[in-house]
Structure 1
Amino acid sequence: MKHYIYKGLIVFAGLSVMISCKKSLVENNPSGITAESVYTTPAGFETLVNAAYSYQRWWYGKEEGHSISEMGTDLWMSGAGDINTDLTQYINLQGTNAAITTEWQQLYAAVNLCNAGINKIAGAGLSSTARPIREAELKFLRAFYYWHIVETWGGVHFSLNETQGVITTANKTPVETFNKQIIDDLLFAVANLPSTTADYGRVTKPAAQAFLSRMYLTQKKNTEAKDMAMAVINGGYGFTLLPAYADLWKMSNLKNKEVVYTVNYSTNLSLNDLIDPILNPLGHSRGSNSGHMLYAMKYDDQPGMLRDLANGRPFDRYMPTRFLLDLYDENDSRYEGSFQTVWYANGTTRPAGMKIGDTAILATKKVFPSAGKLYKVFDRNAVYNANGSVKDQLHYVSLSKFADPTRTSINEAQSARDVFVIRFAELYLIAAEAEFNLGNPGAAATYLNVIRTRAAKPGKVAAMQITPAQVTLDFILDERAREFAGEQIRWFDLKRTGKLQERVKAFNPDAKSITDFNLVRPIPRTQVDAVTNESEFTQNPGYQ
Structure 2
Amino acid sequence: MKNYKLKVGALLSSALMMVAVSCSDEFLEVPATGQLAEAQLTTLAGLEASLIAAYSQVNGRGNRLASPSNWVWGSIRGGDANKGTDPGDFSTINPIQRFEINAASGEVGSKWNGAYEGIARSNNVLRLMMSKAGDVTDADVVRISAQAKFLRAHYYFELKRDYGNTPYVDETVDYGSGLEEISNTQDLYPFIETDLKYAVANLPAVPSQVGRINSWGAKALLAKVYLYQKKYPEAKVLFDDVIANGVTSRGDKYDLVENYGEMFRGANDNHKESVWVYQAAANTGSVNNANPEFDLNYPYNGGPAGCCGFFQPSFTFVNSFRTDASGLPLVDGSYNAAGNRVKNDQGMASKDAFTPDQGNLDSRLDHTVGRRALPYLDWDDHPGADWIRNQPNGGPYAPKKYIYEKDEIGKFQDGSSWTAGYTGMNFMMIRFADVLLMAAEVEVELGGLEKAREYVNRVRTRAMNSSLKREDGSLAANYKVGLYTAPWSNATAARDAVRFERKLELGMEGHRFYDLVRWGTVQAEMDAYFAFDGSILQAALGGAKFTDKYKLVPIPQDQIDLVGPDILIQNTGF
Give the alignment's TM-score, normalised by structure 2: 0.74
Distance 1:165 1:358 in 2: 56
Instruction: Kindly report the root-mean-square deviation, in angstroms, between the aligned alpha carbons of the 2 structures.
Output: 3.3
Q: Is the 2:294–2:421 Cα contact (8 Å) retained in structure 1?
A: no
**1:139-178 matches, cutoff 5 A:** 139-160=149-170, 161-167=172-178, 170-174=181-185, 177-178=187-188
Partner of 1:400: 400
Q: Relative CO higher for 1 or 2, CA cutoff 8 Å, sep ≥ 6?
A: 1
1:338 & 1:181 partners in 2: Cα distance? Answer: 36
SS at structure 1 position matched to 2:48: helix
Q: Does 1:100 align with 2:108?
A: yes
Could you tell me which residue of structure 1 aligns to residue 559 of structure 2?
Answer: 527
Q: Tell me the residue number matched to 1:68.
A: 73
Instruction: List aligned pairs for 1:461-500, cutoff 5 A.
Output: 463-465=482-484, 467=486, 468=488, 469=490, 471-500=493-522
Q: Which amino acid aligns with 1:98?
A: G
Deviates more, 1:144-153 or 1:506-515: 506-515
Whether 1:432 and 2:462 are equivalent positions in the alignment is no
Distance in 2, matches of 1:119 and 1:252, equals 38
Question: CA 1:331–1:457 in 2, change beyond 3 Å: closer, same or farther?
Answer: farther
For 1:203, the equivalent position in structure 2 comes to 213
Paired residue type of 1:255:
N
Structure 1 residue aligned with 2:318 = 325
Match of 1:338 among 368, 374, 380: 368
Can you give the 5+ residue segments of structure 2 that lack an aligned partner in the other structure?
A: 13-17, 21-30, 248-252, 324-359, 468-478, 535-540
Aligned match for 2:455, one of 416, 435, 447: 447
* C-alpha distance in 1 between matches for 2:283 and 2:466: 39
Say whether 1:290 aligns with 2:321.
no
Matched, 1:242 2:257: yes
Identity in percent? 22
User: Contact 1:453/1:461 (CA < 8 Å) preserved in 2?
Assistant: no
Kept in 2, the 8 Å contact 1:293–1:313? The answer is: no
Distance in 2 of aligned mates of 1:461 and 1:395: 25
Deviation digits for residues 138-186 of structure 1, max 9, x if unmatched?
11111111101111111221122344225365433346x3111111111
Q: 1:15 offset after TM fit, Å? A: 7.3
Aligned partners of 1:457, 1:412: CA distance in 2, in Å? 32
State the 1:63 CA deviation. Answer: 4.5
Letter in 1 for 2:442: A
Which shifted more, 74-83 or 198-207? 74-83
Q: Shift of the alpha carbon at 1:228?
A: 0.7
Q: Which residue identity is paired with 2:199?
A: A
Contact 1:242/1:257 (<8 A) preserved: yes
Supply the distance in 2 between the matched residues of 1:234 and 1:345 (Cα, whole angstroms).
Answer: 37
Matched, 1:415 2:430: no
After TM superposition, the structure 1 = structure 2 runs for residues 37-186 of structure 1, keeping only pairs within 5 Å, are: 37-58=39-60, 62-65=64-67, 66-81=71-86, 83=91, 84-91=93-100, 93-125=101-133, 126-160=136-170, 161-167=172-178, 170-174=181-185, 177-186=187-196
Does the 8 Å contact 2:280/2:424 carry over to 1?
yes
Deviation at 1:534, TM superposition (A): 3.0
Report the counterpart of residue 10 of structure 2 in structure 1. Answer: 20
Indicate how the Cα distance of structure 1 residues 248 and 131 shifts in structure 2: closer, same or farther if over 3 A, else same: same
Say whether the 8 Å CA contact 2:50–2:125 is kept in structure 1.
yes
- Partner Cα separation in structure 2 for residue 63 and residue 156 of structure 1: 18
Specify the alignment match of 1:518 in structure 2.
Answer: 550
SS across alignment from 1:200: coil
Q: Which runs of 5+ in 1 are unaligned?
A: 1-10, 275-286, 301-306, 347-356, 364-375, 384-389
Matched, 1:265 2:280: yes
8 Å contact 2:362–2:481 — kept in the other structure? no
In structure 2, do the counterparts of structure 1 residues 461 and 412 end up closer, same or farther at CA, with 3 Å as the change threshold? Answer: closer
Report what 2:524 is aligned to. Answer: 502
Give 2:573's aligned residue.
542
Within 2, Cα distance between the matches of 1:450 and 1:461? 16
Q: Tell me the equivalent position of 2:33.
A: 30
How far did residue 344 of structure 1 move?
8.5
Aligned amino acid, residue 79 of structure 1: G
Q: CA deviation at 1:129?
A: 2.3
Q: Which residue type is aligned with residue 116 of structure 1? A: N
Question: Partners in 1 of 2:370 and 2:281 — Cα distance?
Answer: 26
SS, match of residue 202 in structure 1: coil
Displacement of 1:204 in angstroms is 0.3
Partner of 1:386: none
Q: Which residue identity lines up with residue 403 of structure 1 in the other structure?
A: I
Number of corresponding residues? 472
* 1:421, distance to aligned residue in structure 2 (A): 0.9
Tell me the TM-score normalised to structure 1 length.
Answer: 0.78
